[in-house]
Amino acid sequence: MAVRAVRGAVQLDVDEREHLLASTRELVAAVMTANGLTPDDLISVLFTCTPDLVSEFPAVAARETGLGSVPLLCAVEVDVPGAMPRVVRLLAHVDTDRPREQVQHVYLRGAVALRRDIAQ
């Protein structure tokens, strides 16, 4: 087993609580599925939001997906002028047998533009 980092992001249409929660649940599920992960494989997950997302903590959605025993942390992204708005990002630290080059990073909706080089 090795510790690997898995990245992901999703761009939201609006800053509304239910939309943020549903989008974050979708992102978490996509990352887990793409990498064949279970909650026991997760060491920790860091979520960030762009400063324009204030309706809820993304960790609330992660807990709803069964990650209540995984250490979760939320933070605000750096407010860079011209940066893509309404983005939730995640960085998950996982135990996996996958080599680094086989880790699948997941970018959903408009967030695909952030990393076209590694987006699934």
- Decide if 77 is catalytic: yes
The values of phi and psi at residue 86, to 5°, are: 55, 55
Cα dihedral sign, 2-30-119-79: negative
Task: Kindly report, residue by residue over 28-81, the tens digit of the pLDDT.
Answer: 999 999 999 999 999 999 999 999 999 999 999 999 999 999 999 999 999 999
In a domain, 119, yes or no: no
Q: Which of 46, 54, 64, 118 is nearest to 86 (CA)?
A: 54
Count the neighbouring beta carbons within 10 Å of the beta carbon of residue 54. Answer: 12
Residue 120 lies in a domain: no
Query: Among residues 25, 63, 98, 109, which one is catalytic?
Result: 63
Amino acid occupying residue 71: P
Residue 92's CATH number: 3.30.1330.40
What is the residue-averaged pLDDT of the chain?
Answer: 94
Helix, strand, coil percentages for the chain (3-state, nearest 5)? 30, 30, 40
Rounded Cα–Cα distance for residues 41 and 93 (Å) = 9
In the predicted model, is pLDDT for residue 85 greater than 60? Answer: yes
Residue entry with tokens 């909706």: 109
Active-site residue, 64 included: no
What's this model's pTM, rounded to 2 decimal places?
0.94
* 107 part of the active site: yes
Q: Which domain holds residue 43?
A: 2-114
Confidence check: pLDDT of 118 > 90: no
d(CA 43, CA 52) in angstroms, rounded, equals 28
Q: How many domains does the chain have?
A: 1
Catalytic residue among 16, 26, 64, 77: 77
4 band by pLDDT with thresholds 50, 70 and 90: very high
Whether residue 9 is contained in a domain is answered as yes
3-class SS at 45?
strand
